[in-house]
Amino acid sequence: MDQRGSALWSCHSRCYLASVTRTELHRLVEDLPDESINAAGILLRRAQDPLVAALEAAPLDDEPYTEEDETASAEGWAAYRQGEAIKLSEL
């Protein structure tokens, strides 16, 4: 990862993993430019769902996508296309 990418990842980690108080959140909302109001509203509505909030706060998968992963994925999709997939109702 180059220096710029490393700096962006560091900012991403701090921005998304740092806790925020209700007071800080109010300040952030008050300081939003008008152009960002709709986007912030969408994010805040999504954050009201505890499952969505937990998934979005989870760390990014930083594991490399290996040849073994690619092979397993290709085999799974091939089975699906041939009708060999297990239906959710069968689980």
Q: pTM here?
A: 0.43
Instruction: Provide mean pLDDT across the span 9-18.
Output: 53
pLDDT the model gives residue 3: 52
Question: At CA 75, angle to CA 72 and CA 77, rounded to 5?
Answer: 110
Q: Which pLDDT tens digit goes with each residue over 22-71?
A: 999 999 999 999 999 999 999 889 888 999 888 888 888 888 889 999 99
Of residues 81 and 4, more confidently modeled: 81
Name every residue whose Cβ is closer than 8 Å to that of residue 15 and which is 6 or more positions away in sequence: none
Query: Can you tell me the distance from the alpha carbon of 63 to that of 82, in angstroms, rounded to the nearest whole number?
Result: 30
